[in-house]
Amino acid sequence: MPPPDLREPVRRLLRGHTRRWAPHSRLFLIEDRSTWVIHWEMRELAAAARRLHIRRAPPLLHPHAAGQAVFYGSQFFLLADDWIRSPHRIATAYFHGKPGTGHPEFDQLYARILQHHEHIHRLQVSHSEMEHILLETGIAPEKLHRIPIGINLDLFPPQTPETKRRARAALGIPPDAFVIGSFQKDGEGWGDGLKPKLIKGPDIFAQTLARLRHDIPSLHVLLSGPARGYLKEELRKLNIPHTHRNLKAYPDIANFYHALDAYLVASRQEGGPKAVLESMAASIPLVTTRVGQAMDLVRDGQNGYLADIEDTAALAERLLHIFRSSETLPPLLSEARKTAEAHAYPRLDPLWKTCFEGFVEAAP
């Protein structure tokens, strides 16, 4: 931040610089309310823009420019009013947030689009359910683009017996344990997370494992992410051993997948989650509720396993099948890897190209 007496001259200088840009020739990527997922998605979107020859501008120039294109990484910016008066074309990712599900902020977001969709130029959704929900706002269908949360295959090589052995040794997990993974934040706030974030289903996760603890005596849970206190306490009550490690860098998560026998998504709502394609890429059997893009990407019994939301009996049955029938899994895991490969970030470039046409101009 420049000294107060220089701020106005600096603003004039920046405004003069941005006025030389042709209309809608620059893309601003704004990490509003940045989280781990949003940060990495915006990095990948920046890479896609480079491949599509779209010129990006530094976010710090955003307040000084006019008539350009702004893409927000989170829909929560809609709760403010600045975007309605923005001199730019406006777009946002809208991964999750079904109205009428007991979350006031989701109702407010939906109402904002309902009232002001003429000010929105593009909406990116990651799955079909959210696409249908947002079309009901009356927004023009050509503004709505379904583009899944992709996968960086370089970070997620398939598990092998040796990588599994090394990963467990590094984490102190017994080699003969049956390890189920969960790597997402599922507690309120950023502290211990003793209050559950029910949308993420930590109660469903615990209830599912409660059904398995006698049939799978070697059961072990590997957790990552912040605010996992509620689930950890539930696992203690059930006498199910667990290991919790926080990651320093997102790419390190691949080593955690390699320690697993299965990955469980027990959520009630999701935009992805990223774990769907991460586990598929890493050749880890996926068991998930019908949420987010899992409902579009997972074919039950073919490349993963699906169960209805809150159906703990079905979730447990599928995990028990994995435990008892591991020798039947290779064809499923092969199909899962193919699904991940089809959703590698560069494979999604044609979808982004269509989304950006008429929103931001590519460089000549």
Q: Model confidence over 296-335: pLDDT tens digits?
A: 999 999 999 999 999 999 999 999 999 999 999 999 999 9
Coil/strand/helix, residue 329? coil
E runs forming strands in 137-289: 144-146, 178-182, 219-223, 242-244, 262-265, 286-289
Q: Is 261 helix (H, G, I), strand (E, B) or coil?
A: coil
In-domain check, residue 239: yes
Average pLDDT over residues 206-232: 97
Which tokens hold the place of 132?
């249908």
When pLDDT is averaged across residues 141-169 and rounded to a whole number, the result is 97
Question: What is the C-alpha to C-alpha distance for residues 233 and 229, in angstroms, rounded to an integer?
Answer: 6
pLDDT, one tens digit per residue, over 105-147 is: 999 999 999 999 999 999 999 999 999 999 999 999 999 999 9
More confident residue, 220 or 64: 220
pLDDT tens by residue, 41-63: 999 999 999 999 999 999 989 88
Q: Which is higher by pLDDT, 35 or 256?
A: 256
pLDDT, position 166: 98
Residue 195 lies in a domain: yes
Q: Please give the model's pTM, rounded to 2 decimal places.
A: 0.94
Q: Mean pLDDT in the chain?
A: 93
| DSSP-derived secondary structure letter, 177 | -
Q: Quote the tokens at residue 327.
A: 């020798």
CATH number at residue 129: 3.40.50.2000
Residue 33 has pLDDT above 80, yes or no: no
Same domain, yes or no: 106 and 209: no
What SS3 class is residue 182? strand
Region 182-190: mean pLDDT is 92
Residue 1 has pLDDT above 70, yes or no: no
What does the alpha-carbon distance between residue 56 and residue 49 come to, in Å, rounded to a whole number? 8
3-class DSSP string for 209-238 = HHHHCCCCCCEEEEECCCCCHHHHHHHHHC
Confidence of residue 339 (pLDDT cuts 50, 70, 90): very high
Q: Which residue has the tokens 């020859």?
A: 53
Q: What is the mean pLDDT of residues 87-102?
A: 94
Q: 171 and 311: one domain?
A: yes
- Domain of 236 in residue numbering reads as 157-343
Residues 172 and 244 in one domain: yes
Q: Quickly state the pLDDT bin for 37 (edges 50, 70, 90).
A: confident
**Local structure of 145: helix, strand or coil:** strand
Instruction: Check whether 2 has a pLDDT greater than 80.
Output: no
Query: Are 129 and 193 in the same domain?
Result: no
Give the sheet arrangement for strand 144-146, strand by strand: 27-30, 69-72, 89-93, 122-125, 144-146
Contacts of 192 (CB under 8 A, 6+ apart): 227, 229
Q: Is the pLDDT confidence value at 6 over 50?
A: no
Residue 121 lies in a domain: yes
Report yes or no on 2 lying in a domain. no
Banded model confidence at residue 9, pLDDT cuts 50, 70, 90: low
Domain count for the chain:
2
Whole-number Å distance between alpha carbons of 175 and 173: 6
CB atoms within 10 A of CB 204: 23
